[in-house]
Amino acid sequence: MDTDPTTKTASDDDAAFIYHEWDRRTRAHDIDGLLELYTPDAILETPLIPRILDQPRGVLTGRDQIRPFFQRGTDNRPNDLVRWYRTGRYHFDGQTLMWEYPRAHPDGGDQVDLAEVMDLRGPQIAHHRIYWGWFGTPLLIPQRGNG
C-alpha cells in the first residue's frame, strides 16, 4: 500500500461508506458482510487478536485469517463495556480513515476506548489498526488464577 499521504486511494464517498457500514455490519454480527468491506489481502492489527485467538502476534492477513477473529469477537457483544458509542465524527485524508470510540459514554458510564485506523483502497479496507485506550487496555491482560 502506498504510504505517501498525498496519494488518494479512496474517495470521500468511500470513506463515508466504510464509516457507516463497518459499524452497521459489526453491530448486526454480519460477518460475511463485514469481510466484504476488506480487500482479499487485507491486514488487521490489534492487541485483541492474541487474547481472542490465543496466538502470539496481533496481526492477521487476508479474509480467511480475519474471519475467526470477527466470529469470536462478536460472540459476546454488546456488553456493558462494548457499547459502540461514536461521536459521529471521523477524519479522512484520501487514504486513511480514523474515528474513535471514546471512553466517556453520554449516559455517564464508561465503554472500551478504541481508535479505529483504516487505510482504504477504494470502498474497501486494505489495512486496519485498532488502538486501545487506558480504560480498555487492562482488559487485554489475561487474569491469573488465585492459586
**Residues β-bridged to residue 99:** 116
Stretch (H or E) spanning 70: helix 63-74
Q: Which of 28-37, 52-61, 104-113 has the lowest mean pLDDT?
A: 104-113
What's the mean pLDDT when you consider all of the chain? 89
Give every CB contact of residue 21 below 8 A, 6+ residues apart in sequence: 33, 37
When pLDDT is averaged across residues 12-30 and rounded to a whole number, the result is: 95
Higher pLDDT, 36 or 79: 36
- Is pLDDT at 4 greater than 80 in this prediction? no
Domain 12-135, CATH:
3.10.450.50
Q: What pairs with residue 7 in β-bridges? A: none
Residue 52 DSSP SS3: helix
Higher pLDDT, 128 or 5: 128
- Residue 86, pLDDT > 80, answer yes
In which band, very low, low, confident or very high, does the pLDDT at 94 lie, cut at 50, 70 and 90?
very high
Query: Look-up: residue for cell 460475511?
Result: 32
